[in-house]
Amino acid sequence: MSGYNALIAFEQLSDGRTIYSAHDPDLRGCTAQGATADIARAALDDVRRMYLAHLQACGLPVPSPRESWYVWISYAPMTPRPSMSMTH
């Protein structure tokens, strides 16, 4: 969608697959996933349309996209601890 940004992150799964997550920093909670960055981005566009339509239908303010973002990325591999339960 025009004007809105996407932050795309990826995670390597234990089975070797990679999953991509796309997040809109201007629309809190607006997130999508995909098997590739392009699929995640396209899914985010669909989610954005629904998100914005919901805000408008409920008479809520629609945030304007910001012109620029500064992103701090920190990478720390996550190793599950024996006491952690990994569920979907």
Q: Is 82 inside any structural domain?
A: no
Per-residue pLDDT at 66:
80
- Are the C-beta atoms of 26 and 5 separated by less than 8 Å? yes
The CATH number assigned to the domain holding 51 equals 3.30.160.250
Q: Are strands 7-12 and 18-23 parallel, antiparallel or unpaired?
A: antiparallel
Q: Is 1 inside any structural domain?
A: yes
Instruction: Note down the domain range covering 20.
Output: 1-73
Residue 44 amino acid letter: L
Per-residue pLDDT at 30 exceeds 50: yes
- Are the C-beta atoms of 50 and 62 separated by less than 8 Å? no
Q: Is 83 inside any structural domain?
A: no
If one counts the domains in the chain, the total is 1
> What pLDDT, in 10s, does the model give residues 33-87?
999 999 999 999 999 999 999 999 999 999 888 876 555 555 555 555 555 445 5
- Nearest-Å Rg of the Cα atoms of the chain is 16
Is the dihedral angle over the CA atoms 45, 66, 20, 78 positive or is it negative?
negative
Q: Is 10 inside any structural domain?
A: yes
Per-residue pLDDT at 45:
93
| Greatest C-alpha distance within the chain | 47
